[in-house]
Amino acid sequence: MSTYRAFEATGVHQLRLVERELVEPTPGHVRLRVEACGVCHTDVLAVEGLRPDPSKPLVPGHEIVGVIDAVGPGVSAWRPGDRVGVGFLGGQCWECEPCRRGDFVNCVNQAQTGTTVDGGYAEVVYARASGLVRIPDGLTAAEAAPLLCAGLTTFIALQQKATRAGSLVAVQGIGGLGHLALQYARSLGYRVAAIARGTDKEKLARELGAHEYIDSTREDPAAALRDLGGAALVVATASSGASMSPLVDGLAPGGNLVVVGAAPDPLSVSTVSLIFGTRSITGSLTGSSIENEDNLAYCLAQDIRPMVETLPFERAMDAYERMLSGGARFRMVLDMAS
């Protein structure tokens, strides 16, 4: 093969299928054949033109699983045939101040896969070796892909603060992130409360690990959490600052609201709510590539899996629009083999 197919995003809400020339990977990079790519809400940054130059073609997608078929100069830890993943963070530079202090997530020279560099809506991806995640046996490509982003994001969020087993931990929003957060929280030994709108997700939330279910359309979630003793940790996955803000009052003394859902509106919190009870609000992005390997190993050991819907590569726009509609249960995945 001298070419490969890829979907390029240009302008606003446009994906175009193109043929690209196959080239050798550059120093420090590998080339991999994509097996599956998850469709994440963050893909709107590329597809809806929410980047500095939307006219420049860009391939979306950052939940990528594939097999290395070529390595560039200077790559020694990876070989053709290795099964790997690539997440949102494209690999640390090792040289900036955060990297030198071991804070690889906040590397200032790190590409964002599918947002600042080409991603996985393609048959072939080029990736920095420092961002690769080894995929263990026992996970299919369609299962592993969402775990690289949605899974890792919630797994790391639950570790933002040391929390005793048996403590009340709440998950707000039972969607692409929340349905995984419930599984992680239950497996970590917490008393788990799910917060969602309406009663239609209660049965599933309990099946995924929730001990308690709070319908935010019928009761004040903060008051409900206080009635349960107060939450040591709340993981907020819903893309709404207005729905997150009141949850601070549902925290136990010393409790922490961890925000992982990117919302267009700001949080608004009373200083009194923070000061009296020494509560805190924390943003959590994702994790490093080695933390992602820990995440996948944990998922295997605890039988944590995403709920996915798959579509063929050629139907990338259909998969994206289903994700955008909120109708997917709960992660869309492009399956290159189908």
Q: Is the distance from CB of 60 to CB of 10 less than 8 angstroms? A: no
CA dist., res. 246 & res. 227, Å (int): 15
List of the chain residues with pLDDT < 50: none
Q: What are the distances in angstroms from CA 260 to CA 16, 152, 275?
A: 30, 11, 23
Q: What are the distances in angstroms from CA 136 to CA 39, 63, 114, 213, 274?
A: 21, 15, 23, 34, 42
**Quick one: CA torsion of 194, 200, 203, 205, rounded to 10 degrees?**
-30
- Side-chain-side CA neighbours of 236 within 13 Å: the count stands at 26
How much is the pLDDT for 1? Answer: 76
- In angstroms and rounded to an integer, the radius of gyration of the C-alpha atoms of the chain is 20
Helical spans, DSSP H, in 188-309: 202-208, 221-227, 241-244, 271-275, 289-302
CA dist., res. 130 & res. 144, Å (int): 19
φ, ψ of residue 164 in degrees (nearest 5):
-70, 145
Quick one: DSSP state of residue 245? G
CA dist., res. 252 & res. 227, Å (int): 11
How much is the pLDDT for 185? Answer: 98
Helical spans, DSSP H, in the chain: 44-47, 97-100, 141-146, 152-157, 178-187, 202-208, 221-227, 241-244, 271-275, 289-302, 316-325
**What pLDDT, in 10s, does the model give residues 196-245?**
999 999 999 999 999 999 999 999 999 999 999 999 999 999 989 999 99
How much is the pLDDT for 274? Answer: 97
How much is the pLDDT for 338? Answer: 77
Give the residue from 235, 269, 219 showing the smallest Cα distance to 249: 269
Domains of the chain: 3-149+287-335 (3.90.180.10), 161-283 (3.40.50.720)
**What pLDDT, in 10s, does the model give residues 40-54?**
999 999 999 999 999
Bridge partners, residue 172, by sequence: 195, 236
Q: Is the distance from CB of 56 to CB of 102 less than 8 angstroms? A: no
Give the residue from 152, 103, 134 showing the smallest Cα distance to 287: 152
